[in-house]
Chain A
Amino acid sequence: MAIATGASGGATAITDAKRRYKAGVLKYRQMGYWEPDYVPKATDTVCLFRITPQEGVDPIEAAAAVAGESSTATWTVVWTDRLTACDTYRAKAFKVEAVPNSPGQFFAWVAYDIILFEEGSIANMTASLIGNVFSFKPLKAARLEDIQIPAAYVKTFKGPPTGLIVERERLDKFGRPLLGATTKPKLGLSGRNYGRVVYEGLKGGLDFMKDDENINSQPFMHWRDRFLYVMDAVNKASAATGEVKGSYLNVTAATMEDMYERADFARQLGSVVVMIDLVIGWTAIQSMSNWARRNDMILHMHRAGHGTYTRQKNHGVSFRVIAKWLRLAGVDHLHAGTAVGKLEGDPPTVQGYYNVCRDSYTRQDLPRGIFFDQDWCDIRKVMPVASGGIHAGQMHQLLDLFGDDVVLQFGGGTIGHPAGIQAGAVANRVALEAMVKARNEGHNIRVEGPEILRKAARGCSPLQQALDTWGDISFNYTPTDASDFTPTAAVAH
């Protein structure tokens, strides 16, 4: 439902310059931040905000305020605007619609001219788009739901240093999801004990093991020790299987200098992959992406901390926006949810995140929460990672939801296996290969999946034990972040 634009009572931009720049306070829409007839240019960035205005605040004025506070506005008129081509610098709110079934919430579309953002800088783009505006008093809450980034700006980024296609070529692994596990317990193991878990998992059949987000260099295990033991495990497992193996060495640290030092050591030891946490920030992420490019390294991104701003539907930033920014910033792996595991995620919404990572061209897809078409301009594709509370008994669901280009990480589902870590890895690999084979043979795995697993388990006791232990474990809670899509195609401009 479109909101009446109202032509009276100071509802529109003041065009007379003398009145417009008279000292004092004007409504944002009077200042030129609301332009209902505006048609975004091919070089504009378009943002879709979900806003919850305070009681009594008109939604159009609130939308204009979002446009103003995320671009040039301050709270009062300033004459220095007149020294600039200020009409072009103003972001323009051009459409406001009520969010279906959500009283008090509105979708606001805002367009930004390309001059507003420094080329190749996510830090700069985010400083505008999610800067001051999210603390703005007239709004109870605001959320950046989706973003359309123009091709001209996309091409100022280098994107993933490796990308999922080249990653597969380096690893010599094709036509199936990759398998991983996070080493557990995440805190407390010594380097020697830690490497044991890595070796057992990789020899048992996993492609990757992984440091957890908060494993850096604590008293129980300093980073050099971890890297040395882990790489012994990786190389031993590679020799035992004839496969390329990896373990994401987390180089997250207090300073860039520390991170570079750790990453360089990982490179010297022959690791194929290093890992960073989202909490290091956009600038550090782009620096590490450049480092990974220079050193032929896969860059794994753990999205630690994202839930603080992505989970609540009325306030923050949707993960689909974070995923778009991370693809531009340049990471190769990105945790994007499991839909069926222990962590938050409505299945179609999670599929939307995966598509943003992997598409060549993303089409508007409202049930999956994708509001805009997005041309990725041949930028490489990010390998999404499904991690958190998943197990072999869900293999058919995971393959059906996410397809081949995903890393499936079974941490507890590998290390918690009753017959040991190698057995846990075998169970996962057999379940995966059996499911891929059956799908390719034409079986409907969504329906026949449990039977395919039971059949595979007849020849594989580790898989039978896994199914006996976890077969009926599921995490069925109502997602907090399902898509509130509007049923018309009008949401795309």
Chain B
Amino acid sequence: MMTNPVRKITQGQFSFLPELTDAEISLQIEYGLSRGYAWSIEYTDDPHPRNTYWEMFGMPMFDLKDAAGVLMELQNCRKTFPQHYIRLIAFDSTRGVESIAMSFIVNRPVSEPGFGLIRQEAGGRTIRYTVHGYAADRPEGERGGNGKS
């Protein structure tokens, strides 16, 4: 179990709050849609802080303007990957932004194994650090999922 104050990975906009209900998630989706963002869903079993490319659960929903539709896709993703991390991401294609405008976690494994820090001592008291995800020790497809975490 992780030892930080909220006992979980704190990536995303709302990790320090109680997990958002579906009704609360809908309000955030609506906010993004009202600002012209496109929502997409990504999932992973390897939430390393430098693991940029989580798997895409389908394409970004550029043409979906209805929060209920986005939520339905999220529910499909949860059904398929109940023990993965899932995040909702909103893209803003405005010139000069062209990046992510919102991102928050909407599903987590029951138990979050967290990370260890590997230190390699080098010259001049320097240390080279590796942040190592405990989940990544298992083979692909067996991390966190299937209740084996």
Contacts and interface: CB of A to CB of B under 8 A. Distances in A.
B11 A172 contact: yes
Interface stretch (B64-72, B122-130, B138-146): B122-130
A134 B51 CA distance: 53
B13 interface: yes
Interface string A211-247: 0000000000000100010011001101111111000
A434 to B, nearest CB: 6
B117 to A, nearest CB: 4
A360 interface: yes
| Interface core residue of B11, B16, B97, B117 (most chain A CB under 10 Å) | B16
Q: Report whether over half of chain A's contact residues are helix, strand or loop; otherwise say mixed.
A: helix
B28 interface: yes
A236 B117 contact: yes
Interface string B99-122: 111111000000000111100000
Given A172-B49, A175-B90, A434-B17, A205 B10 contact: yes
A80 B126 CA distance: 61
A430 interface: yes
Contacts of A436: 13-14
29 contacts: A172-B52, A174-B99, A174-B100, A175-B90, A175-B104, A176-B13, A204-B4, A231-B129, A232-B127, A235-B117, A236-B117, A238-B49, A239-B117, A240-B3, A240-B4, A242-B47, A242-B114, A243-B10, A268-B126, A269-B126, A381-B96, A426-B6, A429-B16, A433-B14, A433-B16, A433-B17, A436-B13, A437-B13, A437-B20
Contacts of B114: 239-240, 242
A231 B124 CA distance: 14
Interface of B: 2-6, 9-11, 13-18, 20, 24, 27-28, 31, 47-50, 52, 89-90, 95-104, 114-117, 124-129, 131-132
Nearest to B3: A240
A243 B49 contact: yes
Contact of B49 (A228, A244, A434): A244
A49 B75 CA distance: 60
Contacts, number: 127
A152 interface: no
A329 B103 CA distance: 31
Contact of A239 (B14, B15, B28, B115): B115
Given A244-B50, A426-B16, A440-B27, A239 B131 contact: yes
Given A174-B101, A228-B126, A205 B49 contact: no
Contact of B9 (A242, A244, A270, A456): A242
Kindly list the 9 A-B residue pairs having the minimum CB-CB distance in the complex, ordered from nearest: A242-B9, A175-B102, A440-B31, A235-B129, A239-B115, A239-B117, A174-B103, A360-B96, A441-B27
Contacts of A244: 49-50
Contacts of A169: 99-100
A423 B16 CA distance: 12
B125 A459 contact: no
Given A174-B100, A441-B28, A441-B31, A239 B17 contact: no
A423 B77 CA distance: 35
B127 A228 contact: yes
B129 A270 contact: yes
